[in-house]
Structure 1
Amino acid sequence: MSEVVFVCGATGTQGGAVARHLRKANATVHALVREPKNAKALADMGVLIFQGSYDDTESLRAALKGATSAFLNFMPSFTDISQELRHANAVISAARDEGVRHIVYSSSFGLEEDETTRPGLDPDGIVAKIYQVKRDITREITKYPSYTILRPAKFLSDLIGPAAAWFGDLTTTGIFETALTQGQTSPYVDPDDIGAFGAAALLSPEKFSGHRVDVFTALLTPEDLVSGLAEATGKRMSVRFLSEVEVEEKKKRNLLLEAQITMKEKSALANLDQVKSWGVPVGSYEDFLEREKKRLDDTYTRVPSKQDS
């Protein structure tokens, strides 16, 4: 009899990757969605679709019924900061009521080491508040009888589509203006690797229970990141490192710079050997670029080509 796993956010980046890896392992996957018509790809791979929301206890319990484990990840709301914690508590409560034995929560790399306000991060800003909510969720998760905390790094998929706004005007000018430091490596993760780790933790709780697991694919400098992207797309790209004065001035109106500052400060925590020690195969930046070439090409159509004068 196959394992039954409930997956939060199965139509999204992380949940979708976890669902794919679970189905490859022949696990039964339950997903709760607001609009089943938007979950056709999931249904086509054999995921069982339940209509409802985290605010609807009845539909949530129906989706969790029979599940042995559950994957939790939640999107922050910029208009309702408390929503993420509210949804997490609803799922945790319903999972407990339905007898779910093991929970895997996807948090964020370096978050728990960052309990105090970091230099350059506005303690009253939206970024600090979102991080605090994730810490609060982590504390609730650790009260569950069996749990695993995944801590994925910066998504490589944020180079694609609207998410690429994190990289400023890179999609139009080919220039990545950043608060990151020249030559300093930062951890990045291919969401497919989150899927692999998520499935492994869900299907092998005896190995992963009680652990916090960092998940990333590669350590890249800003120069590595942009040069690889330029090579994959054939576009002219470069990095411009902002001075401390520029960062201080620009971060007042650019939330993404605050996120880059915290990413820079957590880079020293990254240990790729530790990631690999779990025995879960991870890919590479090159693998990601090759697999996502079409979507990357579509994202950077406005950037001048290398052969353009």
Structure 2
Amino acid sequence: MSQPKVFVCGITGTQGGAIARRLLSENVAVTALARDPSSPQAQSIEALGAKLFPGNFDDSSALERALTGCTAAFLNFSPDFNDWTAELRWAKSIIAAARNAGVKHILYSSGFAVNAPERLQHWDPDSVMAIVLLSKQSIEKEVRDAGFNYWTILRPGNFMANYLPPKVIMYGDLPQSGIWHTALLEETTLPMVDEDTIGRFASAAILNPTKFTGQEIELADELLRPEQILERLSATAGRQLKAEYMSDASIEEKKSNPFILGQFAMRDMVQFVDMEKVQSWEVPMSSFDAFLERNKDFVKKTYQQAA
């Protein structure tokens, strides 16, 4: 392949930002769309060398401009709770534009269980979570069938960044009350992933596409129970945090909350990861302790000032 140039989706977000920073540190050219190129997040990544174009994923001309000359494209999307069709529509638009631009390698960051959600003990095909997972499953199929020279699917586990703003909102009033009301079980083991690890895997795949083509890789740095997560958060925040496990009746009352339903379904999500297989790729891994140390000031601000 020629010198890589990569289009990155969601460059101002958790995954996209981590991937862009990793690629730029490897002197790989990065392009992206930004709804507001003047935002602090956009300007900070542009200052590192990324080329940003104004526009969104429904803007075909903006996609064409941003993908010109690119050799690879990294896809990742967050669900639009007002338009469940958006993720698949965006993926199809970017894939079409990437094909027209001569992109050789398409990468997609999907999620745990997307390939076989029916294996989840509490899988409900009529739930909001099912809508999200099946949409991502359809995108995975688009990626496999699109005809690019190389394709790679990454499936990250539970983001360590979920315990910091803005994502921590999914855990209700945890920062304020210090109590995590959760639909997980005390014995649940969560496959935790640092966004920097996603960035390292994506960069490794882009720089060595023949090694990673056709691969579907579940990503986790560490397996932790809720109590272990809170113990480490507490130590960093300087404040005691604890978990309260919801009864089935409470979960039923809150079944309209997609975050509660998601936690309920995640009780056996760990079945999808083989840590030895993840480590066999010989890509440097992280840990929750390393993530917390890197973000310790933000952790303290989040959990101390909110109290």
Q: Which residue of 1 aligns with 2:195?
A: 191
Q: Structure 2 unaligned runs (5+)?
A: none
1:290 aligns with 2:293: yes
Deviates more, 1:262-271 or 1:80-89: 262-271
Q: Which residue of 2 aligns with 1:59?
A: 62
> d(CA) in 2 for partners of 1:124 and 1:214?
25
Deviates more, 1:27-36 or 1:205-214: 27-36
1:139 corresponds to which of 133, 138, 141: 141
Q: CA RMSD in A?
A: 1.6
> d(CA) in 1 for partners of 2:290 and 2:104?
35
Q: Which residue of 2 aligns with 1:49?
A: 52
Secondary structure, counterpart of 2:304 in structure 1: coil
1:270 corresponds to which of 265, 268, 273: 273
Q: Which residue of 2 aligns with 1:71?
A: 74
Q: Which residue of 1 aligns with 2:179?
A: 175
Secondary structure, counterpart of 1:84 in structure 2: helix
| Contact 1:156/1:189 (<8 A) preserved | yes
1:103 aligns with 2:94: no
Q: Structure 1 unaligned runs (5+)?
A: 305-309
| Contact 1:71/1:105 (<8 A) preserved | yes
Secondary structure, counterpart of 2:214 in structure 1: coil
Secondary structure, counterpart of 1:29 in structure 2: strand
> How far is 1:122 from its partner?
4.2
| Contact 1:121/1:261 (<8 A) preserved | no
Q: Which residue of 1 aligns with 2:216?
A: 212
Name the CA shift for 1:230/1:303 in 2 (closer, same or farther; >3 Å): farther
The alignment-based identity, stated in percent, is 39
1:244 corresponds to which of 248, 254, 257: 248
TM-score under structure 1 length normalisation: 0.93
Mapping 1:6-85, distance limit 5 Å:
6-38=7-39, 39-85=42-88
Please tell me the residue identity of whatever aligns with 1:134. K
> How far is 1:11 from its partner?
1.0
Please tell me the residue identity of whatever aligns with 1:24. S
Mapping 1:150-165, distance limit 5 Å:
150-165=154-169
> d(CA) in 1 for partners of 2:63 and 2:129?
29
> How far is 1:117 from its partner?
8.0
> How far is 1:118 from its partner?
4.6
> How far is 1:186 from its partner?
1.2
Name the CA shift for 1:138/1:231 in 2 (closer, same or farther; >3 Å): same
Q: Which residue of 2 aligns with 1:221?
A: 225
Please tell me the residue identity of whatever aligns with 1:35. D
Q: Which residue of 2 aligns with 1:126?
A: 128
TM-score under structure 2 length normalisation: 0.94
> d(CA) in 2 for partners of 1:68 and 1:158?
31
> How far is 1:261 from its partner?
1.7
> d(CA) in 1 for partners of 2:260 and 2:51?
40
Please tell me the residue identity of whatever aligns with 1:163. K
| Contact 2:227/2:242 (<8 A) preserved | yes
Q: How many residues get paired?
A: 302
Please tell me the residue identity of whatever aligns with 2:34. V
> d(CA) in 2 for partners of 1:161 and 1:124?
30
1:4 aligns with 2:8: no
Secondary structure, counterpart of 1:142 in structure 2: helix
| Contact 1:117/1:123 (<8 A) preserved | no
Deviates more, 1:208-217 or 1:257-266: 257-266
| Contact 2:188/2:268 (<8 A) preserved | no
> How far is 1:303 from its partner?
6.0
Please tell me the residue identity of whatever aligns with 2:293. E
> d(CA) in 2 for partners of 1:134 and 1:168?
25
Name the CA shift for 1:254/1:296 in 2 (closer, same or farther; >3 Å): same
> d(CA) in 1 for partners of 2:196 and 2:253?
33
Secondary structure, counterpart of 2:11 in structure 1: coil
| Contact 1:186/1:270 (<8 A) preserved | no
> d(CA) in 1 for partners of 2:136 and 2:56?
20
> How far is 1:148 from its partner?
0.3
> d(CA) in 2 for partners of 1:174 and 1:214?
31
